[in-house]
Structure 1
C-alpha cells in the first residue's frame, strides 16, 4: 500500500497523457527569451505519414487551395511582432534553434506561430479550443495573415497593418480532453481586408476514405499546404481521424475535402511530432495506415456559426455607406457602461486621401472617462480626444479638418487609400456611467456627393 501511495503521481501523469492525446501548448517545452517573450520547443503533437507531403503555398499546383491559404492565419505572440510606422516586423527563432536537427526540411525558417486559424466571416475566425483557453490567449497574441514563403523564395517577416489582427473576444470555445471536444470561434478587432471567408460543411459528415488537404503552420513555420491524406476513422460524432502530415502549430488549421473544397473540420491533435536522434530532434515517420492518426474536430459541431455569421451579414447590410461621404444625425446609440463600442461605416472611393473632414458628437456624464479613436480600414488608428483632468462637459462635439501641411490629428491618414470599412471606436474606461453616440459625419477629398 505504501508503494502504491508513492506511485500515484506517476500513474496520474500517465493517465492524463493517455486521455488527452493532444498537443496543448502547455505540453511543449517553453523557452523564455531574454526579453520575456515565449518561443516554443516542439515535443508532442503530430507526425509525417508516408512521404512528407508539405508544400510551400506558392509551389502548390492547385490554384484553388493557394487562394484558400490566403484566408488562414497564424497565432503569433505580440512580443515577437514589433510595430514601426505602418508595418509589423517579426523577429523569431529558426526551427533549428528550437532543437530540431538542421537536416530536417524547413529547419532554416522562423517558427513563431503557436496555432493556426481560418476565416469563416469577415471578422470571425475559427481555431482549436485549446488555443484559446483564457483571456491571456485573446490578449497576448496577434492573428497574422500572409506569413509564408513568397514567390522570391523569401519568408515574409514584414506585415502591413491589413495583415495583422487582434482577438476582440472569444464568442464560443470548448476544450474537453475526455470527450475530445476542441474548437473556438473568435471575433477579430475589425473586418479582414481582401481575404474571403472559407466555405464549410453545414450538415452530415464526410465520406469514409475521402481525400483531404490541410493548410496551416506546422511547427510554427510559415504557411504550408499538405495533401495526399484521407479519412481513416469516421465513427465518432465529434471528430474523425486521418493520416495528415501535421505538427504542433497546425492546431486550428482548416482541413478541406479535396474534392469539394469545403472545410470539413479543425485539426486539433495527433501523434508525437519528433523523436530525439544524435542530440537533436527529427520528424517521426509512420506508414500511411500506421500510428494513431491525426484528429479533426467536425466543423458541424459549431452549430451557432451560421446564425452568428448571418446576423453579421444582416447588420452589415445596414452599415452606413457612401462613396466620398457618410453622415448620420440623431443616432442616439447607447454606449456600454464600460468597454469598447464600435461604429463602422464604409467608404467606396478607391482613391488616396488628400483632404478629410470628421465631425463627431458624443454625450456622456463623465466625458474624461472616454477614449475616442478613428480607425482606418488597415487598422491604423488615432486618438481624437484629450481632456483637462477637471473637465465636466456632458457633450463632446468636435470637427477635425485635415489637408496637406496642416499636421493635425488626422495627418497619419493622408496618402492612405480611402476605400474600406472605417470605425469610430469609443472606449469607456470606468464602470457605471452610460452615454450615447449622437451623430457622425465624415468626408474625404472635399467631396459632398
Structure 2
C-alpha cells in the first residue's frame, strides 16, 4: 500500500510558491539531516529528555529557541500553531471571560475560545484592524481579559502595535499574537516581532516561512511564570505525549540555516523587486496595494488580478503551485529557498497566460437558505470562519458564498 507516497513522489510540480518554506529543496545541511533522520526519530528516554519537563537536551534547545525569538521562554509545538493558539487562550480565560479578536481570525482562535468556554468579542475590519480601533473596543468593555491579533496576516500585512501593547499592560489585559506567518520577523533584517514589541505570548509556524517540516511550530512567552506554567500544562492536554524529535530538530535546522544565511533575504528582495518591475507590462495582473497605515512583509507576494481562479489554473498547468487565491488576489509565499530561476519560470507562465473563454460550473449554496448549520463554514485557506455552527444562513450570506464559489475560492462545509 503506497498510494499516498507514490502520488506525492510523482507530482508534476516545477516551482513551489507555497509552504513549507524549504520548498522541497536540498538546502545546505539538509542532506546530513535527512541521512540521519531515522537516528533522530526517537522517543523520550533518559538521555533524550522530556518535552514538557525538559532538563537536558530539549531544555537547551528551548533556551536557544527563546534567544532566537527574543523571548523569556519558548516551547516547541509538535501539533502546529493551532495547539499553541488554543492552549494560550485556555490559559488566559476562565469560563465566560471575554477575549477581543479580529472577526477574520483563524478558526483555531474561535475553537480555542470554545474550549475555554469563554466569549469572543469580534471586531470587524476591512483587512487588518488598526491598533486605535482595538483600543477603542477595549475601552468600551472593561471586562475584556485578553486580546488576540494576527500579525502579519495571510497577505503579509501588519500594523504598528506599540500603543496597543502599552494599553494592555496598563490595564492588565493579556495580549497574544498569532504570528504564524511572521516567524522570520525574529531576524534582524525584518521589523520587530511580537516578543520584541512586548507582547505576552506569540505563536510561530516555522514551516510557513522558514525551511522546516510541515507542522513545526513554537510558542513564545514574555509573561509571568504562572501563565507560562499554566499554558504548558494546557499544552500537555491538547498535544501528543509522544513528541516528534524530527519536528523539533527541524525547527533547530531552520533557525540555524536562516541565521547563517540572513544575507540571502536582501538578495531575495532584489529578485522580488525585479519580478514586480517585469509584470508591470502585463495588463491583467498587478502588485496588490497595501492597506493604509500598514506594511507588507516583502516575502509575501500578493498579486491582484481580474480572474484569480483562471490564472491559478494556468499556473498549475505550467507546474507552478501557489499558496492560495481569493476573489481578487493570488497569494504566493517566498522564502530564502527560492532562486531567481523560480521567478523566471513564474514570469514566463504569466506572460503566456490567455483568458479562458470556457464557461465553468461551480457549486451553489442556495440550499442553505434559512438552514441552521451544524458546522462552521470556513474559507480555507486562509482558515477564517465565514459563518459559525448553529447559526441560520440568510440570503445575503448565500449570495456571498455563491460569488466566492464562482471565483474559485475554496469553501469548507461539512
- TM-score bin, normalised by smaller chain: under 0.3
Higher radius of gyration, 1 or 2: 1
Give the TM-score normalised by the residue count of structure 1: 0.24
Which one has more relative contact order, counting CA pairs under 8 Å at least 6 apart?
2
